[in-house]
Every structure is written in structure tokens, then in C-alpha cells.
Chains A and B, each alone.
Chain A
């Protein structure tokens, strides 16, 4: 009895995975020089705060291109992928990288002391979903 119900459970997972894999369709553009799919995102920072969506979603295996703009000078850090980026006011800064690992990664401001005190301020989260 239990083994059969177990099999059922395993089967449910497999079906789930198949459904999810199909539902993860996006409308990415193809870049010109490589066959890689590039997913672009723009993040606008005003007064140290992000305007709009705080979660940026990507699909594993693609290439991410995040364009940052800020009205103040700051250095940001994408954790996990471990990428640092300096943003000058009035200039767009582009952070491009291959999305090899799934997960949810924080982008924090370096050396910025938050009003609540103790930790680095998180600007956005980069989410990389499996294909």
C-alpha cells in the first residue's frame, strides 16, 4: 500500500516538472553575434531607492544584461555571482553575465549605512529560474 502511494507521489513530481518546464516560456531576444539568448532588464535608482519591481527574473542558460542608473554615485554588489559594479550619476552602467546558476541573489549597495543600522541595503533580488 505504502510503496504504491510512494510511486504515486514520485509520479506526481515527474508530471509537475514536465508541466513547469513547458510553462517557463519567455519572450527573449536573440543577440546578434552569439547564439545565446540575452535577457535585458533595467533598474532605476532614485535617492538610493529602486523605482518599481524589486525582483528581476531570468532563465538559467541565458545571458543577463542589467542596465543600472542612479542619481547618486554608488558601488553595487551582486552576491553569489559575485559581481561588482560602479554606477556614476547620469551614466548607464551595464552588468552582463551568463546565468549559469539558479537561485535568488541579492544586489546590495556597498558601504552604504542603512537607517535601521546594521546591514547592507538590498536594492533588488536577481532570480534565476531553471529552464
Chain B
């Protein structure tokens, strides 16, 4: 009797959770809510050209590294754009504050629209702003041009403003945050956790396009972020706990622009002591020094979720989803969960999402172990003695070099999506509040699905994949040459890494060659 009652209680909770997760009239993932166009699978000859190109250029680069002088490797040309007048004007503290104010107002506006606007995802500004303009658009911008997010991050902006106000009133900035000691063992785990939850929301949560749900999620995350900033200090939380600052920041390591602090700043709101440098793409990934293990795992989480996102669209995954429930040991579990209203697809996708970073980590550590096996890595300690690096340390040292491959795939995968679904902004801009306004006369705009042709997408994908692969191989080799004094040993150490990179690039190409299924 008691058991029964309990079960009933649990069911009620489950029902509430499910209501929150949202089986609602608009219960379809964002892409589907819109008249969606998938990319055609890349044809076989493109696939082969991409694979051949990746292998060929890998060897070209290795041959190059076998010859180039090692002196000064890793140094790169920089042009300080602050020397230009208009750049100084844009980066003037007043302009920066103005941009932050504008971005924050926009954030507030779309949040309010999400809560109170029309709840049809296609008629509300919030889903398009979040899933297309911000999540894909800002990511592209950060990866290719520069860290836009650090400028427009609304959570940072509000807190900065608060700090500024308190300093004005009290004469000192003390008391804005508690500045509790952030335990070093915690690393970037909070950011990893929030990132995984976010990716779940993106890939598995079927009701992620419903404005009210999205607005609620953003509001909760905002409170968590501000709380984190209050407890541990703004800068600490941005580096360790705010997953998007970490995510976009890592992408921006790849980008053309870099900010360099020239001298420590006095007033955070009025930063002028920076260089804004134009640099070769990808060089920001060649970071010196030890990368903490938790940061390495965050990067692997990024890589694996990007790949899993694509893998979810392949017929192979569809087959797995179809056939796994027939597996005997799994049946009672899935049946019970389905009784509680949690669909088997949700269960299996969530499991896949959690398993893929584990799989990636295991695989990568395996390759790092091989690297260490064929060339013993060591670093000079402060005492002047050489210390051998462990497998995990070797893995952490090279982890950034894998980012360009994931990034290249991401660009290829979302390129046409951004251009086509991004057009929803055109009618939405005319009627941001869903009040049938027509500010710019574009309310009746219909999305042009022919704006990008398949052949252009194929070519762009191929260039992106091959160039991304080349940059990855380049970065890994520079890192190897830096740590080894001996050129031969450095090149030999890179053989497992090269195999891993070629394999990863092939996986990306293979996904692009699949007929995507929703």
C-alpha cells in the first residue's frame, strides 16, 4: 500500500517534470518548428577529395616542419589595430559602455518578449535570437573574428555596472562580491556542468523553442551566474563557472583578433589599456603552459557534443534508436520510463550525449598514451631538473590543437542553416513584440530557401574541413617542436596525433556525407 502511494507520488512528480520539459502544442525542436531545409549529403567525389586533401596536406605540413628553422617557432606577426583612429574611437570606454548597454537592453527586451510575447516559436523573437543569432551567429563571429561575447555578455555587463555604481557611491569597489575562496579542485567543472545541461537543452529537449520555456531557462541561468559572481567574484566566475564565456573564449582563440592587456587596469568599466591585434588565424591555440585537467575535459566536451550533434542526424543513429529498445535487458527500463512519460528517444539520446564525451576522453587519452610511449615528454622544473610528463599532462598539452577540426565541422554543418533560418529575423525585426507592427515593412517576408545552393555549401564545407584539419596539424606540430629540443623526436611524437586527427576529420566528412534525418 505504501509502495503504491509512493509510486503515485513519484508519478505526480514525474508528470510535473514532464509538463516542465514540455509536451505542449508546439512540442517540436526548433529546427522543425520552422520550414526546415537540410543540406544535401556531400557527394562521394567531394568526400574523397576532402579525405585525400586532409591526408595529403598532413604530409605536406610534416615535410614542411622537417625543414623549417626552429628558432623563433610559434612567434607570429601582429598588427595593433589600436593605432587606427576609428578603432580607438570604437574601443573608447564610452563606446564600449554604450555597446554593453545596448546589448544588455536587447537581452532584457528579448527576455521580456519570451515571457509575455506570442508563444508560437516562429512569431516570437526569442527562439530565433537564442538558437540562430546567438548560438550559431555569435559562435561564428567569435571563432573567426574575435571574442564578441566578452563585450556583449549581459551578465557581465550588469555586474560591471553594479561594481561601477558601488565604487562611485562608496569610493571603493569593496563589497560588490563576497570574493570567497574558489577551491582549485573545482576547476572549470561548474562551466562544464552548465554546458552539458545547455547542450542537452539544445539537442534533446523537444520543447526548447517555446518562448516561455526558453525565457525561464535563461532567467534561471542569469540568477545562477550573478550568484556565482557575487560569491566568488566576477572575473573568477567568468573564467570558471560561466560556460558561455569559456566556450566563446575558447572559440576566439582561433580567431583573427586578440585583445592583450598592456598593463593592469584601474577601473574595469573604463578599460583603455589594451592592444587589439590582428593575428594569423589559429595561433591563439598554441598556448604555452599547462592546461588544467578540467579545462581539457571542457574542450573534449565541446568536441564530442559538436560531433554528437551531427551524428544524431545520421541514419546510423536512427537505426540505433530503432533497434536498441529491442534489446532484452533494456526493455523493462525503457518501458517503466515510458510509463512515466519519458520517451525512449529522450532516454537514448540523453545517454548518448553523456557517453560521447566519455568515449572521446578515453580515445584521446589512449592516443596521448601512445604519443608518450614513442617519445618521452619532459619539461624543465623550476629546480632545473627534467620531469617526465604523464599521459594526462600530454593530453592536456595538445588538446587545443583538436579544436580547429571540430570548428571546421561546425562551420560546415551550420553554414546554410544560419543563412536560411537566420532570415526569420527579417519579419521578426518588423514586429518584435508580436503586436502586428510592421516597422520596416518586412512583416510579410518569406524565407528564401534558395539563398545558398547545394554546390556552394559542398565547396564551402570541403574548404572548411580541409583548412581546419591543416590548422590542427600545424598547431600540434608547433606545440611538439616547442616541448622537444630534438626535431626528429617531435615529429615522431606526432604520428599518433596525426592518425587521430585524420580519423576525426574523416568522421566529420562521413557525417557530412550522410543523408540527414530528423
Contacts and interface: CB of A to CB of B under 8 A. Distances in A.
B53 A119 contact: no
B453 A79 contact: no
Nearest to A131: B455
Contact of B518 (A55, A102, A119): A119
B38 A12 contact: no
Interface stretch (A13-21, A28-36, A42-50): A13-21
Given A80-B35, A103-B38, A129-B40, A20 B45 contact: yes
Interface string A68-95: 0000000000011110000000000000
Contacts of A100: 450
Interface string B233-270: 00000000000000000000000000000000000000
B518 A106 contact: yes
B37 A118 contact: no
Contacts, number: 101
Contact of A9 (B28, B45, B344, B466): B466
Given A80-B35, A118-B27, A104 B40 contact: yes
B36 A80 contact: yes
B80 interface: no
B509 interface: no
Contacts of A104: 37-41, 515-516
Contacts of B27: 118-119
Contacts of B46: 16
B515 A125 contact: yes
Contact of B43 (A1, A20, A128): A20
A5 B52 CA distance: 13
Interface in B446-470: 449-450, 453-455, 459, 462-463, 466
B449 A80 contact: yes
Given A80-B449, A101-B450, A118 B345 contact: yes
Interface residues on B, range: 35 or more
B398 to A, nearest CB: 22
B132 to A, nearest CB: 16
Nearest to A119: B28
Contacts of A125: 38, 515, 517
Contacts of A17: 455, 459
Given A16-B46, A118-B23, A127 B40 contact: yes
A82 B345 contact: no
Contacts of A105: 36-38
A101 B454 CA distance: 9
B454 A120 contact: no
Contacts of B515: 55, 104, 125, 127
B57 interface: yes
Contact of B454 (A9, A102, A122): A102
B60 interface: yes
A12 B54 CA distance: 13
A118 to B, nearest CB: 5
B36 A106 contact: yes
B29 interface: yes
Contacts of A119: 27-29, 32, 206, 518
A118 B53 contact: no
B316 to A, nearest CB: 15
A1 B38 CA distance: 37
A13 B459 contact: yes
A2 B370 CA distance: 30
Contact of B455 (A1, A80, A118, A130): A130
Most chain B beta-carbon neighbours within 10 Å: one of A16, A81, A100: A16
Contacts of B19: none
A78 B302 CA distance: 34
B324 interface: no
A13 B45 CA distance: 10
B28 A103 contact: no
A20 B515 CA distance: 18
A79 B37 contact: yes
Most chain A beta-carbon neighbours within 10 Å: one of B28, B41, B454: B454
A116 interface: yes
A117 interface: yes
A126 to B, nearest CB: 10
B106 interface: no
Given A118-B28, A122-B518, A12 B36 contact: no
A81 to B, nearest CB: 7
B36 A79 contact: yes
Nearest to A100: B450
B360 to A, nearest CB: 27
Contacts of B45: 16, 19-20
A82 B45 CA distance: 31
B310 to A, nearest CB: 14
A101 B420 CA distance: 12
Given A80-B37, A103-B37, A119-B29, 15 more contacts: A5-B60, A9-B466, A13-B463, A19-B45, A101-B37, A102-B450, A104-B41, A104-B515, A104-B516, A117-B345, A118-B23, A118-B28, A119-B27, A122-B518, A127-B40
30 contacts: A9-B463, A12-B49, A13-B49, A13-B459, A13-B463, A16-B46, A17-B459, A20-B45, A60-B453, A60-B454, A79-B35, A80-B35, A82-B35, A102-B455, A103-B38, A103-B416, A103-B454, A104-B38, A104-B40, A106-B36, A106-B518, A118-B23, A118-B343, A118-B345, A119-B29, A119-B206, A119-B518, A122-B518, A127-B40, A130-B454
Interface of A: 1-2, 5, 9, 12-13, 16-17, 19-20, 55, 60, 79-82, 100-106, 116-120, 122, 125, 127-130
5 closest A-B pairs by beta carbon, nearest first, are A101-B450, A102-B454, A104-B38, A117-B343, A80-B37
